[in-house]
């Protein structure tokens, strides 16, 4: 069984597990007669379908200089970078117009690594689109249509008010056949550990969605978008009634960042490391069942430390909303924004207390001071920056007191072919430890044809030797 992201050309596998979080308790009415059951969804479709669009993305690349390719082939062996002439990629997905000015929401994986985007409306008009913001951590991207007028926008609804069993419609462009509407219910809420993005807190639905539906709308019966369809769980790539959507509440966070002119989504920083509460930990804390998250480390001078959070505390709720694991905590904490305070319900010594954590972005201290990997070195195509809480949060790695980290990596570059990855901490070059990008720049410049590079990745440290 596999998990399929719904861009027509992209498939990603992952196992599924998770828990259902608390849902808002609002009044629902069960149909009381056959006539009520036979009522049509057509009015909701007419109200919303014009806001759902097709997204076409492509990328064309040019071949590198032949002499340079041959040099790298001699230096690094058969894994030297090289791009065939005229190589191109393309993908197909869906999107939703959420603002009359031409703002469109889609999935990041629909346009990932693409440099040209076109959008086709339900009325068959087509527009080129600029990419305003890509957020890999939520798998949401924001586009801006060029020179578009008379657009039908749709409102982002309240995904926090959804309940399991609510009727929803999925609208998108499956398999490129054209706009399609399917109907189902909300099968589960707060699905985590799905393996799609960093903020795993998904709406699960049995409304039929298929490849090409990525970025399409999950609509409630009030005609509002409550989620952006993102992935399905499937053996073959076709729908078997298990689909996942990013909640509208998280989509609003990304959209508001784009409206404010930001190129990245700014999130609040806790300044602590968390882990799930399992059965043994729950017994030790005196909890009736595993719930909440355990604080395993608190960083000096961070918001958690200033609020009085300590190692061994269990965070049970964020502003009154229960959290069951680090994914659900990250979701709830991110929704609070970066202004004011967030009350955390904390269990310490068998007693519950409330601590107010200041909502602030992670600090960029020291400054990044980027260094570009130089030609004819293993770092060509890599951007190295200084370690800071902001960089660590952006790349989802552990904060270190100092160091140099790979913040960006060009596709098919020398650095990529050597094996570097975004988020790698470059610990040392030829036995000399790196504490800043100034060290990296100096050591890369003075080096000859022999490289001994020590890297820290995901808690594992290893050394790679390269040379002629």
pLDDT in tens, 247-258: 999 999 999 999
Q: What distance in Å separates the CA atoms of residue 390 and residue 405, rounded to the nearest whole number? A: 12
Grouping H, G, I as helix, E, B as strand and the rest as coil, residue 448 is coil
Residue 429 near residue 438, CB atoms below 8 Å:
no
pLDDT over 90, % of the chain: 57
φ/ψ bin of 181: left (φ > 0), alpha (ψ from -120 to 50), beta (otherwise): beta
Q: Is the confidence at residue 354, as pLDDT, over 90?
A: yes
Tens digits of residue pLDDT in 6-18: 555 433 323 223 3
Q: How many CB atoms lie within 10 A of CB 376?
A: 11
DSSP state of 2: E
CATH class of 272-358: mainly beta
- Taking a C-beta distance cutoff of 8 angstroms, is the pair 182, 49 a contact? no
Binding residues are 109, 139, 212-214
Please give the positions annotated as active site.
109, 139, 214
Name the residue ranges covered by the structural domains of the chain.
1-22+42-261, 272-358, 371-467
pLDDT over 50 at 178, yes or no: yes
Please say whether the beta carbons of 291 and 316 come within 8 A. Answer: yes
pLDDT at 1 over 70: no
pLDDT band for position 195 (cuts 50, 70, 90): low
- The pLDDT of residue 439 is 93
Indicate if the pLDDT at residue 22 is higher than 90.
Answer: no
Instruction: Report the pLDDT value the prediction gives residue 9, as an integer from 0 to 100.
Output: 43
* Neighbouring residues of 371: CB distance < 8 A, sequence distance ≥ 6: 383, 384, 385, 404, 437, 440, 441, 444
pLDDT digit string, tens, across residues 222-252: 999 999 998 877 666 666 778 899 999 999 9
Which pLDDT score, from 0 to 100, does residue 343 have? 97
Q: What pLDDT does 154 receive?
A: 95
Backbone angles phi, psi at 369, to 5 degrees: 45, 65
Given this model, what pLDDT does residue 70 score? 44
Asked if 357 and 342 count as a contact pair (C-beta separation under 8 A), the reply is yes
As annotated, the binding site for substrate includes 109, 139, 212-214
User: What was the pLDDT predicted at 235?
Assistant: 65
Domain 371-467, CATH among 3.40.190.10, 2.30.42.60, 1.20.1440.230, 3.40.50.720? 2.30.42.60
Half-sphere exposure of 250 (CA within 13 A, CB side): 30
Distance CA 361, CA 364 (A): 9
- Token pair for 334: 């991110």
Cis amide prior to 366 (ω within 30 degrees): yes
Largest CA distance in the chain: 82
How far is the C-alpha of 293 from the C-alpha of 278, rounded, in Å?
9
For the packed helices 248-259 and 326-334, what is the interaxial angle rounded to 10 degrees? 50
Which residue from 63, 84, 83, 82 is spatially nearest to 71, judged by alpha carbons? Answer: 82
The answer to whether residue 43 scores a pLDDT higher than 50 is: yes
Residue 467 has pLDDT above 60, yes or no: yes
Q: Bridge-partner residues for 247, per DSSP?
A: 227
Same fold? 1-22+42-261, 272-358: no
Per DSSP (E only), the strands in 85-238 are 88-99, 103-107, 116-120, 126-135, 140-145, 167-172, 180-191, 202-205, 217-219, 225-234
Helix, strand, coil proportions of the chain in percent (round to 5)?
20, 35, 45
User: Which residues 6+ apart lie within 8 Å of 337 measured at CB?
Assistant: 253, 268, 359
Query: Which of residues 152 and 15 earns the better pLDDT score?
Result: 152
Q: Give the closest residue to 154 by CA, choosing from 220, 204, 203.
A: 220
Class of CATH domain 1-22+42-261: mainly beta
Q: For residue 114, give the nearest of 126, 125, 128 by alpha carbon.
A: 128
pTM over 0.85: no
Q: Taking residues 305-310, what's their average pLDDT?
A: 96
- Span 199-220, mean pLDDT? 86
**Per-residue pLDDT tens digits for 320-339:** 999 998 988 999 999 999 99
* Ranges assigned E (strand) in 220-311: 225-234, 243-247, 272-276, 293-298
In contact, 355 and 344? CB cutoff 8 Å: yes
Give the number of C-alpha atoms closer than 13 A to the C-alpha of residue 336, restricted to the C-beta side.
Answer: 27
């Amino acid at each position: 069984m596999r998990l399929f992201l719904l861009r027509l050309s992209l498939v990603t596998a992952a196992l599924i597990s998770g828990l259902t979080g608390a849902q808002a308790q609002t009044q629902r009415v069960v149909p009381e007669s056959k006539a009520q059951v036979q009522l049509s969804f057509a009015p909701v479709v007419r109200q919303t379908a014009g806001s759902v669009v097709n997204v076409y993305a492509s990328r064309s690349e040019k071949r590198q200089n032949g002499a340079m390719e041959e040099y790298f082939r001699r230096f690094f062996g058969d894994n030297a970078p090289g791009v065939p002439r005229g190589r191109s990629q393309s993908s197909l997905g869906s999107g939703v117009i959420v603002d009359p000015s031409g703002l469109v929401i889609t999935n990041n994986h629909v346009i990932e690594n693409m440099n040209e985007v076109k959008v086709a409306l339900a009325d068959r008009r087509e527009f080129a689109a600029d990419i305003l913001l890509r957020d890999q951590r939520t798998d949401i991207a924001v586009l801006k249509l060029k020179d578009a007028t008379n657009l039908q926008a749709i409102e982002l609804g309240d995904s926090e008010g959804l309940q399991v069993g609510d009727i929803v419609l999925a609208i998108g462009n499956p398999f490129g056949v054209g706009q399609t509407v399917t109907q189902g219910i909300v099968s589960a809420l707060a699905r985590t550990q799905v393996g799609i993005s960093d903020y795993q807190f998904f709406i699960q639905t049995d409304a039929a969605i298929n490849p090409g539906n990525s970025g399409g709308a999950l609509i409630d019966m009030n005609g509002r978008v409550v989620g952006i369809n993102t992935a399905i769980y499937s053996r073959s790539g076709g729908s078997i009634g298990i689909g996942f959507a990013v909640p509208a509440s998280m989509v609003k966070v990304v959209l508001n960042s784009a409206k404010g002119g930001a190129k990245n989504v700014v999130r609040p920083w806790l300044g602590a490391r968390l882990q799930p509460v399992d059965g043994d930990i729950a017994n030790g804390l005196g909890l009736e069942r595993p719930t909440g998250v355990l604080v395993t480390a608190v960083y000096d001078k961070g918001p958690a430390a200033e609020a009085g959070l300590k190692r061994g505390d269990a965070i049970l709720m964020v502003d009154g909303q229960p959290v069951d694991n680090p994914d659900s905590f990250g979701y709830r904490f991110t929704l609070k924004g970066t202004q004011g305070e967030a009350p955390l319900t904390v269990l310490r010594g068998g007693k519950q207390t409330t601590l107010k954590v200041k909502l602030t972005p992670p600090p960029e201290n020291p400054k990044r001071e980027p260094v570009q990997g130089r030609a004819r070195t293993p770092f060509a195509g890599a951007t190295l920056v200084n370690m800071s809480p902001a960089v660590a949060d952006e790349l989802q790695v552990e904060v270190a007191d100092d160091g140099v980290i790979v913040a960006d990596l060009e596709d098919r570059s020398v650095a990529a072919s050597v094996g570097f990855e975004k988020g790698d901490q470059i610990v040392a070059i030829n036995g000399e430890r790196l504490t800043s990008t100034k060290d990296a720049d100096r050591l890369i410049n003075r080096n000859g044809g022999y490289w001994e590079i020590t890297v820290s990745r995901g808690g594992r440290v290893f050394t790679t030797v390269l040379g002629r």
